[in-house]
Amino acid sequence: MNLFRSEEHVERWLAGRDPGATIPVATLAELAEAWWRDRLAEDWQPHATAQNQAILDGLGLTGEFWKLP
Amino acid sequence: MDEADLEIRNLTYRLFAERASAPTVGDVVLESRFSEVEVETAWRRLHDAHALVLEPGRPELLMANPFSAVPTVHRVQAEGRWWFANCAWDAFGICAAFGVDGRIETLCPDCSETLVIGIRDGRPDRDDVVFHCLVPARRWWDDIVFT
C-alpha cells in the first residue's frame, strides 16, 4: 500500500503484473480518518467487519476488490 | 476479545503512543496488574484477532497498526515526534489516530522520489499523488507484511 508520484508511475512499477486499485490521495485521507481515528481511544472496541465494510462502501470503494472476508 | 485482552491491547497502544516506540512484554507488565505470561498469551490472541502483529516466533511487537515497531519508508511527523507507519494508509492513520495535523514522508516505489504530504484538518495539502493498493481486501491478512 504505497503512494506513487502518478498513475504512470504505478503502471511502470507494476511491470505487467495485475493491478490492484488506485485511488486519489484525498480519498485515502478520508479512509484513514474513518478507519483509524478511534485507534487510541480509551474506550476502543474492535471494529466489526460490517463496520469496516461500511467505511469502504461509504467512500465508493466497492466491488470485489474492496470486499472484506 | 475479552475484557482482559482489551485492557492489555489498550495499554499497549497507550504506551506506544506515549513513548513513540514499541513497548515490550515487560513494559506492559510493569504498568499493569498482569503477569508476563498473561501479557504474552494475550498478545498472541490479539495477534490472531488482527488487533496487533507480533514478530514471527517471538513475543515482540512488529505492528500496532497504524504504528510500525520497526523502521519503514513511511515516516510521519505528528504530536511533535517522528513515527514509522506500516504503509501509506497507516501513515495517514497516525495523524487520524492522534487527531492532529502532520507531515508524511514516503518514497514512490517506482522512481524512489521522496513524496512529502502535509495533513491539515485531516486533508492532504496536495492532490498530485495517488495511492495504490495491490492486494484485494479479502487477502490483506494472508500476509500483512507484504500487504
**What is the C-alpha to C-alpha distance for residues B141 and B147, in angstroms, rounded to an integer?**
8
Q: Which helix (H) or strand (E) holds B8?
A: helix B3-19
User: Binning pLDDT at 50, 70 and 90, where does residue B143 land?
Assistant: confident
**What is the C-alpha to C-alpha distance for residues A58 and A31, in angstroms, rounded to an integer?**
9
Instruction: Tell me which residue in B93, B108, B109 faces A36 most closely, judged by beta carbons.
Output: B93
Cβ(B132)–Cβ(A10) below 8 Å: yes
Q: Supply the pLDDT for residue B147.
A: 82
Reply yes or no: is the peptide bond before residue B66 cis, omega within 30 of 0.
Answer: yes
Is A29 within 8 Å of chain B by CB? Answer: yes
Q: Supply the pLDDT for residue B95.
A: 97
Residue written as grid cell 513513548: B19
In angstroms, the separation between the Cα of residue B145 and the nearest Cα of chain A is 10
**What is the C-alpha to C-alpha distance for residues B80 and B86, in angstroms, rounded to an integer?**
19
pTM exceeding the 0.90 threshold for the entire prediction: yes
Judge whether residue B55 has pLDDT over 90.
Answer: yes
3-state secondary structure of A11: helix
Fold of B66-147: Beta-Lactamase (3.30.450)
**What is the C-alpha to C-alpha distance for residues A42 and B70, in angstroms, rounded to an integer?**
24
Give residue-wise pLDDT tens across range B103-127: 999 999 999 999 999 999 999 999 9
Give residue-wise pLDDT tens across range A7-64: 999 999 999 999 999 999 999 999 999 999 999 999 899 999 999 999 999 999 999 9
**Span B140-145, mean pLDDT?**
88
For residue B86, give the chain A residue with the closest CA: A1
* C-alpha gyration radius of chain B: 16
Is A63 within 8 Å of chain B by CB? Answer: no
- Does A35 contact B127 at a Cβ distance shorter than 8 Å? no
Judging contacts by C-beta atoms under 8 Å, the chain B residues touching residue A46 are 1, 49, 51
Alpha-carbon distances, residue B104 vs A44, B88, B94, B95 (angstroms): 25, 9, 10, 9
Q: Identify from B115, B132, B140 which residue to disrupt to test chain A contact, counting A C-beta atoms within 10 A and taking the largest count.
A: B132
User: Binning pLDDT at 50, 70 and 90, where does residue B146 land?
Assistant: confident
Other residues' Cβ atoms within 10 Å of the Cβ of residue A49: 10
Give residue-wise pLDDT tens across range B30-40: 999 999 999 99
Class of domain B3-64: mainly alpha
- Does B115 contact A23 at a Cβ distance shorter than 8 Å? no
Residue ranges per domain, chain B?
Answer: 3-64, 66-147
For residue B100, give the chain A residue with the closest CA: A37
**Span B19-25, mean pLDDT?**
96
Give residue-wise pLDDT tens across range B70-103: 999 999 999 999 999 999 999 999 999 999 999 9
